[in-house]
Amino acid sequence: MYKIYPKTLFLGQIIQYLPSCQSTNDEASALIAQKDPAEGLLVITDNQTVGRGQRGNQWEARSGQNLTFSLILKPNFLIASEQFWLNMAISMGVYDAFQPLLGETLRIKWPNDVYVGNQKLGGILIENTLHGYGITWSVAGIGLNVNQTDFTFSTATSLQLQAPLPNGYNLPGLISRLCETLEQRYLQLRAGQRDALKKDYLGVLYRYQQEHTFEADGQSFAGTIVDVDETGQLAIASQGQVRHFGFKEVSFLKCESAKE
């Protein structure tokens, strides 16, 4: 059971705790369908059985050891083509909460993964409800590896593996801090401070301004990430031109040509 007291205006002030559920995003979406829930309502579980990632991948998380939660937001100040601004705000909110613990190795990997070095600490999945050209509701699902120390894949890591504490991390304390930093970034976006938000996002973007190997259309190529445009497309400079890629259109490759 989660009892948290975040210093926020609305984020995390109302909590729906579920000992176990298939997906907190699905639970949050069901609340939206049933009634008009308060903005900032937090749906959290100890055991998410069918968590999913941006590309449809299942999220691996041991029961009671990590953070799996969703936030209900009403970003009606954004139009449909501006959805990625919310991704940037949520990503930076997560970064702000964990950077004091992990330092400069913490990065946001486009479009919305959380990395420490070359290993994945967590992921973000934002699902929007559109009406006409506007966004009426958003569900921001966040999964973060905290106290788990063994994973199926070597590319995964956790807060405890990277910055261990003798007794592990207090999950309610972390979620409270996350509510505060997420609200700060959300309010920054709502106030129209987009230039500052994007500057911060690019400043912590994984592989930004670094030459790396990518794959698109079955072909690998060397390039350098130079921007993320207004619609969320990744801009990569390669062979004298800048190419733009949407979600699922490009992959990062490791040196040995295995997908990250």
Q: How many residues appear in the chain?
A: 260
Please report, for residues 29, 107, 120, 147, 174, the alpha-carbon distance to residue 151 in angstroms, rounded to integers and kept in the order given.
29, 20, 11, 11, 21
- Retrieve residue 131's tokens: 């009406």
Percentage of residues in the chain having pLDDT higher than 90: 87
Distance from chain centroid for Cα 108 = 8
Residue 230 confidence (pLDDT): 84
Check whether 236 has a pLDDT greater than 60: yes
Residue 42 confidence (pLDDT): 98
- CA separation for the pair 107, 116 (Å, rounded): 6
Going by their DSSP bridges, the two strands 42-48 and 15-21 should be labelled as: parallel
What digits encode the pLDDT tens for the residues 177-230? 999 999 999 999 999 999 999 999 999 999 999 999 999 999 999 999 999 998
User: Range(s) for CATH 3.30.930.10 in the chain?
Assistant: 15-203
Determine the Cα angle at 201 with ends 174 and 165, to 5°: 25
- Retrieve residue 116's tokens: 């420490």
Say if residues 134 and 79 touch (Cβ distance below 8 Å). yes
Please give the average per-residue pLDDT across 32-41, as a whole number.
94
Fold of 15-203: BirA Bifunctional Protein; domain 2 (3.30.930)
Residue 3 confidence (pLDDT): 85
User: Range(s) for CATH 2.30.30.100 in the chain?
Assistant: 211-253
- CA separation for the pair 27, 15 (Å, rounded): 12
Average pLDDT, the chain: 93
Closest CA to 82 of 128, 31, 122: 128
What digits encode the pLDDT tens for the residues 98-120? 999 999 999 999 998 999 999 99
Q: What amino acid occupies position 208?
A: Y
Check whether 62 has a pLDDT greater than 80: no
CATH-assigned architecture of domain 211-253: Roll (2.30)
- pTM (global) more than 0.85: yes
